[in-house]
A and B are shown apart, each in its own frame.
Chain A
Amino acid sequence: MIRGMAGAWLALLVAAPLLVVLAIAFAIPDPGLPPFRLPLQAGRWVEGNESWAVLTQDGFYLAALLRSLALAGATAGLCLLLSYPMALGILSAAPERRVLLLALVVLPLCIGFVLRMAAWVGLLRDSGLINQALQALGVITEPWPMLYTPGGLLAGMVHSYLPFALLPLYAALAARDLRLEEAAADLGAGAFTVFRTITLPGSAAAGAAAFLLVFIPAAGEFVIPAILGAPDALLAGGAIWQEFFGARDWPLAAAASVALLAALLPPLVLWQRLERRR
């Protein structure tokens, strides 16, 4: 019953849209509505699709894809790096205070996404709060450019995605066997060695899950880069958006979507393999 429902769910909401996108990726652009036609005429295949050739030969799209993967990797890596000390810190608090601390982590999600990004603009821009504060303190004389730089973009990305890494990691660390860490300390391991040899390997699966939970959506992110990122450093999500709604080249946009999906599959498969081996 449950399996059947899951199957129907996957077929209807995952497989079907994917097939539609795949079909459009092989279609021919057309000025009509919808802005493409299938490459079939009187039941015969018609040449005319150039999406894949453009995608592979024009370095613009490949560069956007690589930039996206790099940004997603940096975002997920930083989220993971911040999540470990945060999760362990929350867990070291008294049990009745943990709920409050977790709520503070999730609280930003309750504020509208656009509002949060607007706040980052207010913080990062040349006349923003950070630059004003640094100038008032005399640390800098000229405004330090942060908005529309990779660093500013990364800050906004990490801020948005942190809860998705922190929560699964927190759950795994909360369920860990503290006796193992006591045993390691008893055998002569200092605090960092206990973390490196016991806590970290023991939570590796949860860490990988946390990384992927951030990496996958971050690779297709286009709103945050559009607000905080440099306009000339286009990312995969932005490129797809532009082709769909700007250039109205649906076949090219669909092909780019499929390529992005293909780039995200290997890490997922790898993770599944590792999970099964445990």
Chain B
Amino acid sequence: MSLRVEGLHKRFGAITALDGLDLEVHPGEFLALLGGSGSGKSTLLRLVAGFETPDAGRIRIGDRDMAGLPPPRRPCAMMFQSYALFPHMSVAENIGYGLRRAGLPERARVEELLALIGLAGYGARRPAQLSGGQQQRVALARALATRPPLLLLDEPLAALDAGLRAQTGAELRRLQRETGTSFVMVTHDQAEALGLADRIALLAGGRLEQIGPPREVYAQPATRFVAEFLGAANLLETADGVFALRPERLRLGATGRLAARVGQVAFRGDDWSVACVTAAGQLLRATLPGDAVPPEPDAAVMLDWDDGAMVRLRA
């Protein structure tokens, strides 16, 4: 189901969390809300779920305006960062909670979900008896039990350790595809957003900086914030304006457009990070493949790039 947010404002005392946000999520889409802390991304989820009331603006899910609707009457479900599993209920009772509230048959659906998340036979356990990864899957199953058309996920992978994160992320993506549910996932992890989402919405200061498919927002950052937040781009200030230049688009060689001196060279496993200082004193970072032969520190090099690599940024 679609989600449309128009002119959303929310203040908490002196702090402006959302400053006129417009956003649209298409039916069946996986949208990542990416931003630093204080960007308003979690506030947006809480407003859509109905836990907070907007100061101004509209929220529509499908063709229904959400104004005045309390959380239990909204068609979306939320998965909390801390999972918020009910500690005094079994895993099966947790997953069946929404079904019981809706008066839907519980047993078969709970069994089905337990199998879906690979926890068949764990129904009688308490949440505290499960590992972090298992708890995460129970929280997901609980949120999906009544087949909500829109699922809000607040940092769903943040509490997992790095090894589990990639695998669980792929699992999320698979479930989203299979159920056709619209997912809105809040994250501060750019790799997570780039790897999982159909589109990425970048938020800063309670406003939308840019929205688009991962490759587009990465290759064509619209603002300085997007360029720096996604992939740490080099920023070149020229008389014509500010340009972003991705480190992996820079080539080091004997010929090129710009003369520079090599500074620090760091090996990072799958690539090299090479800091270059231009004659004008500007620092530009380049990444080279891990199997490349890096230049010696202090060597004089020429930097080169393709014509399309320089992206002009909005002021």
Contacts and interface: CB of A to CB of B under 8 A. Distances in A.
| Interface SS of A by simple majority | helix
A190 interface: yes
Interface residues of A, number: 17
A1 B141 CA distance: 50
B273 interface: no
Given A184-B86, A188-B102, A201-B88, A179 B72 contact: no
A202 B80 contact: no
A171 to B, nearest CB: 18
A207 to B, nearest CB: 13
Contacts of A186: 49-51, 71-72, 74, 77-78
Interface in B43-84: 49-51, 70-72, 74, 77-78, 80, 82, 84
B101 A193 contact: yes
B98 interface: yes
B1 to A, nearest CB: 16
A190 B72 contact: yes
A187 B70 contact: no
Contacts, number: 56
A183 interface: yes
A216 to B, nearest CB: 26
B41 interface: no
Interface in A178-226: 179-180, 182-190, 193, 197-198, 201-202
B71 A198 contact: no
Contact of B84 (A177, A188, A193): A177
Contacts of A202: 87-88
Nearest to B82: A179
A185 B142 CA distance: 13
B146 A188 contact: yes
Nearest to B49: A186
B97 interface: yes
A12 to B, nearest CB: 40
Contacts of B97: 184, 187, 189, 197
A188 B143 CA distance: 11
27 contacts: A179-B80, A180-B87, A182-B51, A182-B80, A182-B84, A183-B78, A183-B80, A183-B84, A185-B50, A185-B70, A185-B71, A186-B49, A186-B51, A186-B72, A186-B78, A187-B77, A187-B97, A187-B143, A188-B98, A188-B101, A188-B102, A188-B146, A189-B97, A197-B86, A197-B97, A198-B86, A202-B87
Interface of A: 177, 179-180, 182-190, 193, 197-198, 201-202
Given A183-B86, A184-B86, A188-B98, 8 more contacts: A177-B84, A182-B84, A185-B71, A186-B49, A187-B97, A187-B143, A190-B72, A198-B86
